[in-house]
A and B are shown apart, each in its own frame.
Chain A
Amino acid sequence: MNSLLHKHQLKKLFLGRRGNDGLLFKIVLYLLLIGISFIFLYPLLSMLSMSLMSVEDLVDSSISWVPRNPTLRHFESAFVWMKFWESFLDSLQVSIYPTIATVVSSALIGYGFGRFEFPLKKLLMGLMIAMFLIPSVLTYIPTTVLYRDLKIFGIDLQLMNSIRAFWVPALVGNGIRQTIFILIFYQFFKMIPHELIEAASMDGSGPFRTFLTIAIPMAAPAFLICGLYSFVWYWNETTLARLYFGSSVTTLPMRLESFIAMYRSMYAQGKVTLDTVSSIYNTGVQYAMTLLSILPLLVIYIFAQKWFVEGVDKSGIAGS
């Protein structure tokens, strides 16, 4: 009897009462969480450690993680080479305007698709997804040709060589991967209980007012997701930026890319000497630049993340 009780208690301790409060479950959960966190942090950490190594440490194969002579020199030269502040301001411009355009238009379009029934709705949504499926490599040339002389109501938009090439298409639902945002909003607006919307329209609220006062606050997490992600995507976009902006705008990731290209071509031509390596062209500088180009994102993300958890938790209260 006694041992049976003991056994029972042990089982309860390890497996828990409901399956997710036992010790075993907890251990596995934490192991997995920590392991995966390590995988995600690994590139960041190894870039950080390599960017802090001096040139001698980089060559020395016995040093893998902790630099023997830590130095900030690579960061200094990366900072100067990238013209950090100038490129940073460009990056901000390139990311903020398209993000606002993307979020506003995606919310409207998602609400239109999610809340209302109209003829050809299924077909239009299918078309939207189909256009999202077209491999982006294919559309580079046609888009540049199209944007060069895009007119709306007879007004020449002059998209090329300015950041309009990013935010005007975003405003009409053709931003970078915007379909996914429209779909996210679509699902979120569909999840809002019908009774709320009906009650509002009973009380004489027009569709636009209902959208502003009821739908938007209920879809707060969707706004956060879409805002954050489209910011990050516009920030990191280099191929399209190069195609559209030419040399008028140079963002941080574009600087990084041109540095890598230069590094590679020098290497291919055999121009790499001890002098060039120790001055600027080494992996340490490259990683320092990579870190500098994503640093603003990390900072924004750490703040937004706090909000995000709050926003998500708050909206979770409002079930039907």
Chain B
Amino acid sequence: MKKFIVDVKSFFFTVGEFLKKILTCIKNAIKPIITKIMRYSGLAFLAKKLRLLPNKVKQAIYGLLFIMPWLIGLGLIGIPLLSKSIRMALSDKYYFIAGVGWQITGTWSDFTQFKRIITSEPYHLTQILNTINDISLVVPLVVVFALILALMLNQKVKARAIFRTIFFIPVILLSGNLLAGFQSNQLLTVPAIASGAISSILSDYFPQVFSEIVASAFEKIVLILWLSGVQILIFLAGLQKMDKSMYEAAEIDGASMWELFWKITLPALIPLLYINIIYTTIVYSNLSNNAIVQIINVSSDQNRSLAGTLVDEVNYGRAYSAALSWILFTIELLVIGGYSLMVKLASKRYS
């Protein structure tokens, strides 16, 4: 097996060398032609001017060139989508007429849908509050669990490769539909948690507020573990990139594992912490077990509103779910902002 790999490697190496030779040949051949084209088309002039620009301007131009794909995407897809979804949320009705297309009615300044949610939908309001609770509880738990699991996988344990393989299985299985299927078939629960044994013990011995939080965390623990696949990988990649000599130096100076974690590991992982907070919030709030998403799914049922009629829209249609989506968006923003701020304040002493 090893010999095979070495063979393959050397094969690719020789191929690479050969290609390099050919490329240099071609380069030398077309170089004079390109310089001529550059000179006559004025590009050479531009390049010369570019070289003379101050470094800052040059950097800015290079940066903009690198993000050019995204800027094109922003203009072509991002901005139109953004404006369309805002307009949808601020409309009376958004409906489909065969042969004509999608229609929008109502002036935007009425805020019809938002008023409707606040004034005439008490049940949906409580669902929104539940969602806020839910997301703000689960997000930090997922991030912390992912960090702990990544640290565990980074230890020198036997059969580390096998554990790693198993720990990333969720990423493959967990893609919305499959997870929902698992949940409905009760493949995601641990029997002791499901029967409520743990939560009843907790409520006997602890104050109610505390026991409720812990109990709901226990209920969700399997889901939390399932959700932390990507985050573990991100943390692990960061851990692997860390400088080993720093740890050795600290160990020689007599630092304990605890100190190593707080003083070296955690500060280095803080940028990744932000990414994971953002990612977890987004994934979790788009999951189909989320209360708001459930309302949206019911009120803008796929099959119905793709060929939605005016009658559907009068009640709860696309416009209403668009307004709900923007509320969900605000919640996500608040959660991400809140936790990022917390991390930022907590990490101030490192800098």
Return the contact of B240 from the options A108, A229, A312 (Cβ within 8 A).
A312
Residue numbers in A under 8 Å from B178 (CB-CB): 236, 290, 294
Bound-complex Cα distance A172 to B68 (A): 8
A136 contacts the other chain (Cβ, under 8 Å)? yes
Chain B residue contacts of A29, Cβ below 8 A? 152, 155, 157
> Could you tell me if A132 and B282 are in contact, using CB atoms closer than 8 angstroms?
yes
**Contact among A111, A174, A313, A316 for B73, CB-based, below 8 A:** A174
With an 8 Å Cβ cutoff, the count of chain A residues facing the other chain is 95
In this assembly, does A214 line the interface, its C-beta being within 8 Å of a C-beta of chain B?
A: no
The answer to whether B101 and A40 touch across the interface, beta carbons within 8 angstroms, is no
B278 is an interface residue with CB less than 8 A from chain A: yes
Task: Give the contacts of A157-189 with B (CB-CB under 8 A).
Answer: 169, 171-174, 177, 180, 182-184, 187-188
What residues of chain A lie closer than 8 Å to B300, measured between beta carbons? 137
A207 to B64, CA, bound (A): 12
* Residue from the list A134, A137, A222, A313 in contact with B297, Cβ < 8 A: A137
Binds A, one of B31-39, B211-219, B230-238: B230-238
A221 touches B102 (CB 8 A): no
Min distance, Cβ B314 to any Cβ of chain A, angstroms: 18
- Our pick among B61, B63, B64, B243 for the contact of A319 (Cβ within 8 Å) is B243
- The answer to whether B69 touches A171, judged by C-beta atoms less than 8 angstroms apart, is yes
Instruction: Bin chain B's interface residue count.
Output: 35 or more
Identify which of B6-14, B132-140, B202-210, B317-325 touches chain A: B317-325
Structural contact, B241 and A315, CB atoms closer than 8 A: yes
The B66-89 residues at the A interface (CB cut-off 8 A) are: 66-70, 72-74, 76-78, 80-82, 84-85, 88
Name A's interface SS.
Answer: helix
Q: Which of B285-333 contact A (CB under 8 A)?
A: 285-286, 293, 296-297, 300, 302, 305-306, 318, 321-322, 325-326, 328-329, 332-333
Q: A221 with B241: in contact, given A42-B187, A233-B175 (CB under 8 Å)?
A: yes
Contact A173 B88 (CB under 8 A): no
B69 partner, pick from A37, A108, A297, beta carbons under 8 A? A108
**A315 and B69 contact, CB distance less than 8 A:** no
A169 and B77 in contact, given A142-B84, A183-B275, A236-B177 (Cβ under 8 angstroms): yes
Besides A236-B178, A239-B302, 11 new A-B residue pairs in contact (Cβ under 8 A), listed by A number: A40-B225, A47-B187, A113-B63, A133-B282, A137-B321, A188-B241, A236-B177, A239-B176, A294-B172, A294-B173, A319-B242
Which residues of A line the B interface, CB within 8 A?
A: 18-20, 29-30, 32-33, 36-37, 39-44, 46-47, 105, 108-109, 111-113, 115-119, 121, 124, 127-139, 141-143, 145-146, 150, 152, 169, 171-174, 177, 180, 182-184, 187-188, 190-191, 207, 211, 221-222, 225, 228-229, 232-233, 236-239, 253, 257, 260, 290, 294, 297-298, 301-302, 305-306, 309, 312-313, 315-316, 319-320
